[in-house]
Amino acid sequence: MTIKVSLTVNATPPVTVNPEKENVNRGNQTITWVPASNQPAFTFVGVTFAQPNPFSPPTISTSPVQMSVTEDNVSSGTDYPYTITVQLNGVNYSSSVAGIGGGGGTPVIHNN
């Protein structure tokens, strides 16, 4: 599963994802975030999920720029809101309208 990430530094929130709600099947899944087309040269800082959650700590790469987690959940019908944080020119930006912090942002991983 691949989720595309966009950064608009003057927007609220500055970081958005597409799709905003990603549906995954139960079991072992890898979810990868990558920059959307025509984005500034940001890097990934991390992703924070509300606790408890079935996700591994993120694996972050700068070449290529991407971030991945592994999800291993056997329950269905569960939503996992998250906040994603990226960095551009030494400044962190997130998908949370409340600023950088814990999970519970607008984007959601939904277990089918």
Average the pLDDT over 78-101 and give the result: 86
CA atoms of 31 and 7, how far apart (whole Å): 19
> Is 60 exceeded by the pLDDT of residue 102?
no
CATH of the domain at 37: 2.60.40.420
Tell me the pLDDT tens digit for each residue of 3-52.
999 999 999 899 999 999 998 887 788 999 999 999 999 999 999 988 78
* Mean of pLDDT values over 84-109: 80
Host domain of residue 17: 2-111
pTM: 0.90
- 55-84 CB burial, b ≥16 within 10 A, e <16: beebeeeeeebbbbbebebeeeeeebbbbb
Average predicted confidence (pLDDT) for the chain:
89
Residue 100 scores a pLDDT above 70:
no
Q: Using CA atoms, how far apart are residues 99 and 34, in angstroms rounded to an integer?
A: 21
Q: How many domains does one find in the chain? A: 1
The pLDDT, as a whole number, for residue 73 is: 75
